[in-house]
Structure 1
């Protein structure tokens, strides 16, 4: 008599019922390689989360897409040579001006991605901790303070503090992240948790590569 597999031990899988279950996922980077084309597609897809935070984040999305475009245009100059972000950053480390304009685009894109990572991670943590507060302003501000704020001048910080008041309530935001009438908050959070694994690992590696090649700056905007 054959043994019945224990499905309860199966690894969690993405659903097809939420935004995070369907957008392009960041790849596994255990080999310490970031594929340029796939990375840029995943970055483009995750910017869509800003639409769910409201029109006040339109400029932030525009900035992210602008940096993605800058990197993509460089990649398209020689897709074989620049197939990995590793090669692009290594080449930029030899430029007379460091960080170069292209490297600055990567740096600011990374910072914006780190904000999004911190925000969705906050959503997950609060859900698991059964936080019921509907106002997400503090969640957004905590994500901002740990990522973008150190690189923003006082005026930019003031503007962000104001737009953080306009984010939707928790239940409304989570509802917009569902793509199917049968989707649930638990599904959204489960997909976020799965998405965060490679997302976080990619950002960690990107930070290490920028540091390795001396492509860093503390300048504020």
Structure 2
């Protein structure tokens, strides 16, 4: 409980950095099939993504809904059997062995799409960290094109094109991400730390997804 209250006092950026510190992927002998990704810290990190998406506004409504649904799917699986489902890689392995990994509402697909949402968030923060004065609409569009657009069907892509005009300006978004009385330079430093942790983590996750033939799945 204390940890939850402490997290509420910090920005999403600092909270995400803390969650990532608990998410080091263990790869015995470099074998991704034997890797370990703890479920609860991963889901906590995804909740941080939801809060960042909320700050972007209605533009991210469709993506936010998908993220929330996928989090709930993995949470439900974890609650049914906490000890068995504490490692996300074991869930992938189990569903793959039963031929269920690529089914519409599988936990494997939920994990895949949450990973892609983290890809989007990482690229967005990286772009802002590099050039915090760049037009926010352009940043969101370029980030979406690079991370999510290749996997989205026409319905999701069309919804995004309609909503892109509703993004806040860059300064407003940066102000929303900051802690109270935090400077822009401090925020940029925190964003750089988060991205530096996210990038290698996501690279390992994508290797794991590839092992289970999940990396090329597109939305219908």
For 1:98 and 1:218, locate their aligned partners in 2 and report how far apart those are by CA, in whole Å.
Answer: 11
**Which of residues 26, 34, 38 in structure 2 aligns to 1:31?**
26
Instruction: State TM-score, norm by structure 1.
Output: 0.82
Q: 1:83 to 1:218 in 2, by over 3 A?
A: closer
Alignment of 1:1-221 (within 5 A): 18-23=11-16, 24-26=18-20, 27-29=22-24, 31-32=26-27, 33-100=36-103, 101-127=106-132, 132-133=133-134, 135-181=135-181, 183-221=182-220
- For 1:150, what is the secondary structure of its paired residue? helix
Kindly provide the CA deviation profile for residues 109-134 of structure 1, in whole angstroms up to 9, marking residues without a partner as x: 1112211111111111224xxxx33x
CA distance in 2, matches of 1:99, 1:39: 21
Mark the CA change 1:93 to 1:199 in structure 2 (over 3 Å): closer, same or farther: same
Please list every run of at least 4 consecutive aligned residues from structure 1 whose deviation after the TM superposition is greater than 6 angstroms: none
> 1:43: how far off?
1.0
TM-score by length of 2: 0.82
Q: Which has the higher contact order (CA 8 A, sep 6+)?
A: 1
Equivalent pairs counted in the alignment come to 200
Q: Which runs of 5+ in 1 are unaligned?
A: 1-15
Structure 1 Cα separation of the partners of residues 102 and 10 of structure 2: 41
SS at match of 2:162: helix
Kindly indicate which of the two structures has a greater share of residues assigned to helix. Answer: 2
Q: CA RMSD in A?
A: 2.0
